[in-house]
Chain A
Amino acid sequence: MLELVTISTLNGVLYGMLLFLMASGLTLIFSMMGVLNFAHASFYMLGAFFGFQISQIVGFWPAFVVAPVLVGGIGMLVERYGLRYVHRHGPVAELLFTFGLAFVIEEAVQMIWGKGPADYRVPAALDFSAFTVFSTNYPAYKMFELITAVAIFAALFAVLTRTRVGLIIQASLTHSHMVAMLGHNVPRVFMLVFGVGTGLAAVAGVIAGPALVTQSNMAAALGPILFVVVVVGGLGSLGGAFLASLLIGLVQTFAVSVNLSVADVLGGIGVAPPASGILFDLWNVTVAQIAPIIPYLLLVLILIFRPTGLMGMREH
Chain B
Amino acid sequence: MTEIASTVANAPARAGLSAAGSAAVVRLAAPWIALTVAFAILPAIFTSGSALTVLSLMGIMIVFALSYNMLLGETGLLSFGHAVYYGLGGFLAVHAMNTVIHDRLPVPLPVIPMVGGFSGLLFGIIFGSVSTRRAGTVFAMISLGLGELVASSSLILRGFFGGEEGVSTNRTKLLHIFGLNFGPQIEVYYLIAGWCVLSMMAMYALTRTPFGRMCNAVRENPERAQFVGYNPRVVRFIAFSLAGLFAGIAGGLAAVNFELVNSAEVGAAQSGLVLLAAYIGGIGSFIGPVIGAVLVTWLEVMLSDVTDVWQLYFGLLFIGMVMFAPNGIAGLLMMHAPLWQARAYGSMLRLALAYLVALAPALVLLAGIILTIEMTYRLSVKAFAGTTMFVFRLALDAASPMPWVAAAMLIAGGFWLFRMTWPLVGAAWHDAFTLARATGRTR
Does A touch B (CB under 8 Å) in the complex? yes
The closest CB in chain A to the CB of B158 belongs to A281
The closest CB in chain A to the CB of B320 belongs to A100
Name A's interface SS. helix
Q: Distance (Å) between the CB of A152 and the closest chain B CB?
A: 25
A224, B376: Cβ atoms under 8 Å? no
For the complex, is B133 an interface residue (Cβ under 8 Å from A)? yes
Task: Kindly list chain A residues whose C-beta atoms are within 8 Å of the C-beta of B341.
Answer: none
Taking residues whose C-beta sits less than 8 angstroms from the other chain, chain B's interface range is 35 or more
Q: Contacts A100-B318, A296-B152; is A111 near B377 (CB within 8 Å)?
A: yes
Q: Contacts A91-B136, A100-B315, A101-B319; is A231 near B141 (CB within 8 Å)?
A: yes
Name B's interface SS. helix
Query: How far, in whole Å, are A178 and B316 apart by their CA atoms in the complex?
Result: 36
Contact with A along B131-163 (1 / 0, CB 8 A): 101111110111011111100110111111000
A104, B145: Cβ atoms under 8 Å? no
Query: How far, in whole Å, are A311 and B144 apart by their CA atoms in the complex?
Result: 21
Number of A-B contacts (CB under 8 A): 141
B130, A304: Cβ atoms under 8 Å? yes
B326, A107: Cβ atoms under 8 Å? no
Interface size of A by CB at 8 A reads: 53
The closest CB in chain B to the CB of A34 belongs to B137
For the complex, is B279 an interface residue (Cβ under 8 Å from A)? yes
A112, B380: Cβ atoms under 8 Å? yes
Query: How far, in whole Å, are A276 and B159 apart by their CA atoms in the complex?
Result: 8
For the complex, is A267 an interface residue (Cβ under 8 Å from B)? no
A231, B138: Cβ atoms under 8 Å? yes
Task: Kindly list chain B residues whose C-beta atoms are within 8 Å of the C-beta of A65.
Answer: none
Task: Kindly list chain B residues whose C-beta atoms are within 8 Å of the C-beta of A134.
Answer: none
For the complex, is B309 an interface residue (Cβ under 8 Å from A)? yes
Q: Contacts A85-B323, A293-B152; is A111 near B381 (CB within 8 Å)?
A: yes
Contact with B along A266-282 (1 / 0, CB 8 A): 00000000001110111
A103, B318: Cβ atoms under 8 Å? yes
Query: How far, in whole Å, are A86 and B160 apart by their CA atoms in the complex?
Result: 42
A36, B137: Cβ atoms under 8 Å? yes
Q: Distance (Å) between the CB of B61 and the closest chain A CB?
A: 18
Query: How far, in whole Å, are A112 and B322 apart by their CA atoms in the complex?
Result: 25
Among A36, A220, A293, contact of B141 (Cβ-Cβ < 8 Å)? A36
The closest CB in chain A to the CB of B313 belongs to A107
Q: Distance (Å) between the CB of B415 and the closest chain A CB?
A: 13
B272, A227: Cβ atoms under 8 Å? no
Q: Distance (Å) between the CB of A138 and the closest chain B CB?
A: 29
Interface centre among B133, B315, B316 (most CB of A within 10 A): B315
Query: How far, in whole Å, are A220 and B271 apart by their CA atoms in the complex?
Result: 13
For the complex, is A153 an interface residue (Cβ under 8 Å from B)? no
Query: How far, in whole Å, are A295 and B152 apart by their CA atoms in the complex?
Result: 11
Task: Kindly list chain B residues whose C-beta atoms are within 8 Å of the C-beta of A96.
Answer: 78, 275, 279, 318, 322
Q: Distance (Å) between the CB of A260 and the closest chain B CB?
A: 15
For the complex, is B311 an interface residue (Cβ under 8 Å from A)? yes
Q: Which of A6-14, A15-23, A284-292 contacts B (4 or more CB under 8 A)?
A: A284-292
Q: Distance (Å) between the CB of A106 and the closest chain B CB?
A: 8
Task: Kindly list chain B residues whose C-beta atoms are within 8 Å of the C-beta of A228.
Answer: 141, 145
Restricting to B301-316, which residues have a CB under 8 Å from any CB of A? 309, 311-312, 314-316
B130, A91: Cβ atoms under 8 Å? no
B146, A300: Cβ atoms under 8 Å? yes
Interface centre among A30, A278, A280 (most CB of B within 10 A): A278
A112, B376: Cβ atoms under 8 Å? yes
Task: Kindly list chain A residues whose C-beta atoms are within 8 Å of the C-beta of B131.
Answer: 303
Query: How far, in whole Å, are A296 and B148 apart by their CA atoms in the complex?
Result: 7
A300, B130: Cβ atoms under 8 Å? yes
Q: Contacts A103-B272, A111-B381, A293-B152; is A303 near B326 (CB within 8 Å)?
A: no
For the complex, is B417 an interface residue (Cβ under 8 Å from A)? no
Q: Contacts A111-B377, A112-B376; is A92 near B78 (CB within 8 Å)?
A: yes
A108, B279: Cβ atoms under 8 Å? no
For the complex, is A130 an interface residue (Cβ under 8 Å from B)? no
The closest CB in chain B to the CB of A291 belongs to B152
Query: How far, in whole Å, are A296 and B146 apart by their CA atoms in the complex?
Result: 7
For the complex, is A114 an interface residue (Cβ under 8 Å from B)? yes
Task: Kindly list chain B residues whose C-beta atoms are within 8 Å of the C-beta of A104.
Answer: 312, 315-316, 319
B159, A299: Cβ atoms under 8 Å? no
For the complex, is B268 an interface residue (Cβ under 8 Å from A)? yes
Task: Kindly list chain B residues whose C-beta atoms are within 8 Å of the C-beta of A86.
Answer: 322-323
Contact with B along A63-106 (1 / 0, CB 8 A): 00000000000000000001001100111110111011101100
Query: How far, in whole Å, are A86 and B326 apart by their CA atoms in the complex?
Result: 9
Query: How far, in whole Å, are A142 and B152 apart by their CA atoms in the complex?
Result: 28
B145, A224: Cβ atoms under 8 Å? yes
Query: How far, in whole Å, are A285 and B72 apart by their CA atoms in the complex?
Result: 36
Among A85, A220, A303, contact of B130 (Cβ-Cβ < 8 Å)? A303
The closest CB in chain A to the CB of B383 belongs to A114
A227, B134: Cβ atoms under 8 Å? no
Task: Kindly list chain B residues whose C-beta atoms are within 8 Å of the C-beta of A113.
Answer: 380-381
Task: Kindly list chain B residues whose C-beta atoms are within 8 Å of the C-beta of A92.
Answer: 72, 76, 78
For the complex, is A307 an interface residue (Cβ under 8 Å from B)? yes
Query: How far, in whole Å, are A315 and B381 apart by their CA atoms in the complex?
Result: 44
Restricting to A33-55, which residues have a CB under 8 Å from any CB of B? 36
For the complex, is A297 an interface residue (Cβ under 8 Å from B)? yes
Task: Kindly list chain B residues whose C-beta atoms are within 8 Å of the C-beta of A218.
Answer: none
The closest CB in chain A to the CB of B80 belongs to A99
Q: Contacts A114-B381, A281-B159; is A293 near B148 (CB within 8 Å)?
A: yes
A111, B326: Cβ atoms under 8 Å? no
Query: How far, in whole Å, are A20 and B167 apart by their CA atoms in the complex?
Result: 39
Show the binding face of A for B, using Cβ within 8 Å: 30, 36, 82, 85-86, 89-93, 95-97, 99-101, 103-104, 107-108, 110-114, 220, 224, 227-228, 230-231, 235, 276-278, 280-282, 285, 289-290, 292-293, 295-297, 299-300, 303-304, 307, 315-316
Sampled A-B contacts (29; CB under 8 Å): A36-B137, A36-B140, A91-B137, A93-B322, A99-B80, A103-B315, A104-B316, A107-B312, A110-B381, A111-B373, A224-B145, A227-B141, A227-B145, A228-B145, A277-B159, A281-B157, A281-B158, A281-B160, A289-B156, A293-B156, A296-B145, A296-B148, A296-B152, A299-B142, A300-B146, A300-B149, A303-B130, A315-B137, A315-B138
Give the 3 A-B residue pairs with the shortest CB-CB distance, closest first.
A296-B149, A104-B315, A107-B312
Give 6 new A-B contacts, CB below 8 A, not counting A99-B80, A278-B157, A296-B152.
A30-B137, A114-B381, A224-B144, A231-B138, A277-B159, A315-B136
